[in-house]
Amino acid sequence: MDWDRIAIAGAVVLVAVVLARIVDRRMARRTLDPVVATRYRVLRRTVTTVIVSVGFLSALLTIPAVRAVAGGVLASTAILGIVLGLAAQKTLSNFVAGILIAVAQPFRLGDLITVDDQSGRVEEIGLTYTFIRLVDGARLVVPNDTLASDTIRNSTIRSVDTVAEIKVEVPLAQDVAAAVDALREEIAQYDGARVVLSGLEGNATITVRVPSPHGNAEELEHELRLRAHKRLLEEGVLG
């Protein structure tokens, strides 16, 4: 066994991985608006994947035995069957779907979307999976192929602005109408703010929505929860 060539191959792979890390970190430093950031994030993942793949293939070419086998496969018609087989695999379809999402942008980073009755904000669009942060902090991991082919609800698609949304549970024995009025008065200072009674199962569910023009929806939601809790305590709604 030619250990020198194996060592060279390992060094080539290591260099490719390090180079991919450096490129990814340099690309990650840029601050972009959600529209551009969505495409840019997928581009980053694609570039790093290509660098590592090229490095791995280059490493294989330094080993004569492997190079001969690779050349034989590439020269044969079997490669067509391999390509077609890979195209039918879910992983590749998810990858292609990720590219389509980045180009068509049915949703963007930071958008509030609903998938299978679960709502959350788009946190990460990877090459094969998209990560959605739910209201309770959990992450919903959805294959890109599912998002590209199924129907989703996007609450923030018309604007790059996001929406801060909180839900408040009020016992049905309390004056729900008074609670709604109190919350409307509490957030009247915010342009476009809305307070609606969105459910009556178990408790009354009051939903508060406030536009967040600068994308700081999470901080605004924190503030809204504190203000809603304080105001409803003052009104005697929460005990």
Q: Given the DSSP bridges, would you call strands 118-125 and 112-115 parallel, antiparallel or unpaired?
A: antiparallel
| Per-domain residue ranges of the chain | 3-76, 106-154, 162-234
CA distance 205 to 127: 37
- First CA to last CA distance, the chain: 78
Least confident of 3-7, 29-33, 55-59: 29-33
Q: Output the pLDDT for position 77.
A: 47
106-154 folds as SH3 type barrels. (2.30.30)
Beta strands in the chain (DSSP E): 112-115, 118-125, 129-134, 139-143, 153-154, 162-170, 194-199, 204-212
92-125 pLDDT tens trace: 677 778 888 878 888 888 888 898 888 888 888 8
Q: What percent of the chain has pLDDT over 90?
A: 18
Average of per-residue pLDDT across 139-167? 81
Per-residue confidence at 7, pLDDT binned at 50, 70, 90?
Answer: confident
217-235 pLDDT tens trace: 778 888 999 999 999 998 8
CA distance 164 to 212: 6
Contacts of 168 (CB under 8 A, 6+ apart): 179, 183, 205, 206, 207, 208, 228, 232
pTM: predicted TM-score of the whole model, two decimal places: 0.43
Q: What percent of the chain has pLDDT over 70?
A: 75
Is a pLDDT exceeding 90 seen at residue 41? no
Angle at 209 between CA 137 and CA 186, to 5 degrees: 115
Encoded tokens for 100: 């389509």
CB 75 within 8 A of CB 117: no
Is a pLDDT exceeding 60 seen at residue 178? yes
Average of per-residue pLDDT across 14-29? 78
Is a pLDDT exceeding 60 seen at residue 23? yes
For tokens 């069957």, the residue is 81
Q: Which CATH architecture has domain 162-234?
A: 2-Layer Sandwich (3.30)
Amino acid at 143: P
Q: Output the pLDDT for position 132.
A: 92
Q: Output the pLDDT for position 76.
A: 54
Q: Output the pLDDT for position 31.
A: 64
207 C-beta neighbours (distance < 10 Å), count: 15
Q: Output the pLDDT for position 82.
A: 55
Of 141, 146, 129, 142, whose CA–CA distance to 41 is shortest? 129
Q: Output the pLDDT for position 32.
A: 62
CA distance 6 to 62: 8
Is a pLDDT exceeding 70 seen at residue 29? no
Q: Do domains 106-154 and 162-234 have the same CATH topology?
A: no
Average of per-residue pLDDT across 16-45? 71
